[in-house]
Amino acid sequence: MPDVDAVVLDIEGTTSATGFVVDVLYPYSRSRFGALLARRGDDPDVARAVGQVRELIGAPDADAARVEEVLNTWLDEDRKATPLKTLQGLIWSEGFARGDLASHFYEDVLPALRRWHAAGIALHVYSSGSVAAQRAWFAAGPEGDLLPLVDGLYDTENAGPKQEADSYRRITTALGVPAGRTLFLSDRTGELDAARTAGWRTVGVRRPGEPYYEHGVGDHPEARAFDEIDLSTRSTP
């Protein structure tokens, strides 16, 4: 695949196992929403997220117990709601910093990221997980801090919903890399379609055992692991 200057990575289902997120991270956040709302209610990030929850449910006066109930319902539904992701990110960041949590990456991912980084390809992340969660996730990698490999972090708060082409256009502006030289890797067809509409290249990552494996990746080129994605013919601009 020639002429790729930037690779943008989805996390869940692409670099990392959905099972890990759902079985380890989600319960960790569920048991801590109540304490976060009580302990850090005045924190600007918490207050903003609580305001967004109230707005989304149309209940401006919802108390902390109601907000916690809504967060848990969204968690059960695996809804990628921005305020849920903001609050999870704060909880997980504390968990990673405390050593309660360590991140998961499929074994083909880190060698490919190191190879691409060494070849001068910029690596960015675009995930429904908040920027705070992404930062903590990459900092607590299986081989130590992976943040030096990563040039930028994007989420639904700073870029917008992952199934809307305008979000990818916003990231293109931030990256300063032409859309046609930017490659997006994701397990979800809706995200890949939106990226392609914005002019990006796409590869659907279809890992056996992942929830979206059977669903496929539509008419996008597909790979079962990162070592099937060959960027070695990249030409110098």
Ligand X SMILES: CSCCC(=O)C(=O)COP(=O)(O)O
- Check residue 129 for interaction with ligand X (CB under 6 A): yes
Residue range at the interface with ligand X (CB under 6 A); choices 7-15, 32-40, 203-211, 221-229:
7-15
Cα 229 to Cα 87, 124, 185, 211: the distances in Å are 34, 16, 10, 21
Site for ligand X in 152-171 (CB under 6 A): 162
d(CA 29, CA 6): 32
DSSP H helical ranges for 40-164: 44-57, 64-77, 82-98, 109-118, 131-139
21 binds, among Mg ion, ligand X, none (CB under 5 to 8 A by kind): ligand X
Cβ closest to Mg ion, residue 157 vs residue 187: 187
* Closest separation in Å from C-beta 94 to ligand X: 14
CB–CB of 81/119 below 8 Å? no
5 binds, among ligand X, Mg ion, none (CB under 5 to 8 A by kind): none
- Check residue 80 for interaction with ligand X (CB under 6 A): yes
Which residue is closest to ligand X by CB? 129
Among 86, 93, 127, 167, binds ligand X (CB under 6 A): 127
Indicate the SS3 state at residue 125: strand
Among 90, 187, 200, 202, binds Mg ion (CB under 5 A): 187
- Check residue 12 for interaction with ligand X (CB under 6 A): yes
Interacting residues of 218 by C-beta distance below 8 A, sequence separation 6+:
189, 192, 193, 204
210 binds, among Mg ion, ligand X, none (CB under 5 to 8 A by kind): none
- Check residue 68 for interaction with ligand X (CB under 6 A): no
- Check residue 128 for interaction with ligand X (CB under 6 A): yes
Q: Between 82-98 and 64-77, two packed helices, what is the crossing angle to 10 degrees?
A: 90
Among 13, 83, 160, 204, binds ligand X (CB under 6 A): 13
Kindly write down the DSSP assignment for every residue of 61-94, as one continuous string.
T--HHHHHHHHHHHHHHT---HHHHHHHHHHHHH
Binding site for ligand X (CB under 6 A): 10-13, 21, 25, 80, 85, 88, 127-129, 133-134, 137, 162
